[in-house]
A = this chain, B = another copy of it.
Amino acid sequence: MVEINSTRLLDDLAALRRIGGQGTGVVREAFTATDLEGRRWLARRFAEAGLRPVWDPIGNLFGLPPTGRPMVLIGSHSDTQPEGGWLDGSYGVVCGLEIARAAQEAGLQGIAVVSFADEEGSFEPLLGSRVWSGELPFSAIQDRTDRRGRRLRDVLAGMPELRAAEQVPPQLFKAYIEAHIEQGPVLDDAGEAIGVVETIVGMQHVEVAIMGDQNHAGTTPMDRRQDAVMGFVAFAHAVDEGFRSEAGPSTVWTFGRVTVSPNATSIVPGRTDATLQIRDPDQARLNRLTARAERIAENISANGSIEIRTQVTAKLPPAPLNVALVSTLTSAAERLVPGRWRRMVSGALHDAVPVSRIMPSAMLFVPSIAGKSHCFEEDTRLSDLVQGCAVLAAAVEQVLVGHLPWNVV
């Protein structure tokens, strides 16, 4: 029976929090000094736990146990947003470390741990897991720069660890399981301890350009205007109404960026640019919603003096997780926190998305207090952190000793 050591788990989380810590938050952007310091600390902790630290060419850090058998990989990332919280990513990596130690103490081998590089997208969102899974060729992004103006390949060339980088074949692993904070309010609202993720949503990203006619705000009569802000208002209003009638329980849509030109008090706006981001676990519904937004834009353009152009610039398909792993996690949750868990959808993207395309994968959520994340206030009750790790450990033990039908996806 694998029994995690809650003090060791929380001590390691606190130690990692101090690296780049600022007040209650953490600043460890990918490939900065604090990020590398954090991951070098992880490498030492891996070694102390009997796991061999291995850096791969894109800068992912693995902790590999001395075993030839197929392994279970547990982890996440340890970089943060420019103003990040202490648990986003780090929780999953430290859970992996603790479960590897606890499993060894219980005489079980076969647990590997990973800290994927640059999940938060300093160079590219999910950089390490997308390159490792083969979805994103290194050649396509080697010249990408971060907001400091650094080039990815120069950054990698500057890491002494990568001189001895090794490829880590995904075939070594029979499953990937990632623990993460929910980053939303659902579990906290419901007073539940565990979310077992069934699907990670797909996302479509629509760039919207509203083309009006820039003019004097005093001398242009209302019926002669082609006002690009009022064109945006009409579009967003119609999209919101239309989407509400078609939405599923997990559908979300967001006009997150709105830029007006020339953006002056006394000028009728000539152009508005906006982004419409749509997320849903159901690919067919995603397609229907995007088509509906396009139709609304066409109707407004056809009826009025405003022209609205739409362009779908990203289409990420939903990532359904492995049915057998999901069921192992739900059994463990019901055993340890009966009635205080749920099956749910992840509205955020995670390293599990690209990894799920190449091996059976699963995710487990613990509550985020008030749903806050990507900010210094991000937090989770310590008892929930311990319970999440315990449920994950119980599920992993089943995977290691059991005979799960891996081809059932």
Contact = CB atoms under 8 A, between A and B. Distances in A.
What band does the interface of chain A fall in when counting residues whose beta carbon is under 8 Å from B?
Answer: 35 or more
Given A183-B216, A216-B348, A220-B184, A269 B256 contact: yes
B256 A268 contact: yes
Interface stretch (A55-63, A246-254, A301-309): A246-254
Given A220-B184, A349-B218, A373-B219, A268 B240 contact: no
Interface stretch (A37-45, A154-162, A227-235, A392-400): A227-235
Nearest to A256: B265
A184 B216 contact: yes
Contact of A264 (B222, B240, B257, B371): B257
Nearest to A260: B258
Contacts of A336: none
A361 interface: no
A148 interface: no
28 contacts: A185-B219, A185-B224, A189-B224, A201-B218, A216-B347, A216-B373, A217-B254, A218-B279, A218-B348, A219-B373, A220-B252, A222-B247, A222-B253, A227-B254, A227-B255, A229-B255, A230-B236, A233-B233, A233-B236, A237-B237, A254-B265, A254-B267, A254-B268, A256-B269, A257-B260, A257-B264, A258-B258, A266-B277
A318 B19 CA distance: 62
Kindly report how many copies of this chain are found in the complex they form together.
Answer: 2
Interface of A: 182-186, 189, 201, 203, 205, 215-222, 224, 227, 229-230, 232-234, 236-237, 240, 244, 247, 250-260, 263-269, 272, 275, 277, 279, 346-349, 371, 373-374
